[in-house]
Amino acid sequence: PRPKTPPKPSIHRTMGIIDNPLIISLGNWAWSSDPSPDVTPSKCLSSLPLLTTPCLTRLIAKSIGIAIICASSINKAPVMANILKSKSAAGLSLAASYGEVIMYSNAAFYNILRGNPFTAYGETFVVQLQTMIIVGLIWFWKDDPKVGWDKIGAVFVVFVLYLFVVFKVLTSDTYY
């Protein structure tokens, strides 16, 4: 029998780049959702360390999306810090905060329903969560008049009803 010759090692195999599970999962994250046949995880990973132009542009776009999401995580931090520092929600409008929650929720939920990648709407989702935290802080620190449990419960019920309508009642042809 003829002895098997080992396959020629590529620079990637010898360096272990392609075999690294972290690199493979990052490649899947960066390139698996791209509609272009030129941008697939296997094609892009095999072109490492010099990525092709389509692979590089997609990776840059995803990286910018992640950077925007990270930066948005401190968007409402000064407001939250001021409330906690002063132990007061004086001057903050509860109605405006409710409106912000709905506005950011609409944008985030639209993208979720359309199946867009998180990097496309993540900043909106993060700011929505921060605004919900601010609403909670206003409820806790507002003192003239104090927000009662009946109003908090009513807002909670309305928001849950809103979630039900958005995710269960709306059909895909009404997403716009």
Angle at alpha carbon of residue 5, lines to 3 and 6, rounded to 5°? 135
Per-residue pLDDT tens digits of the chain, which is 176 residues long: 666 655 544 444 434 556 678 878 888 878 877 778 888 887 888 777 788 888 888 888 888 888 998 998 898 999 999 999 999 998 899 999 999 999 999 999 999 998 888 888 899 999 999 999 999 999 999 887 888 999 999 999 999 999 999 999 988 887 76
The stretches of 4-93 forming alpha helices (DSSP H) are 11-15, 21-31, 41-46, 53-72, 77-86
pTM of the model: 0.73
Q: In this structure, are residues 31 and 40 in contact, taking their beta carbons and an 8 Å threshold?
A: yes
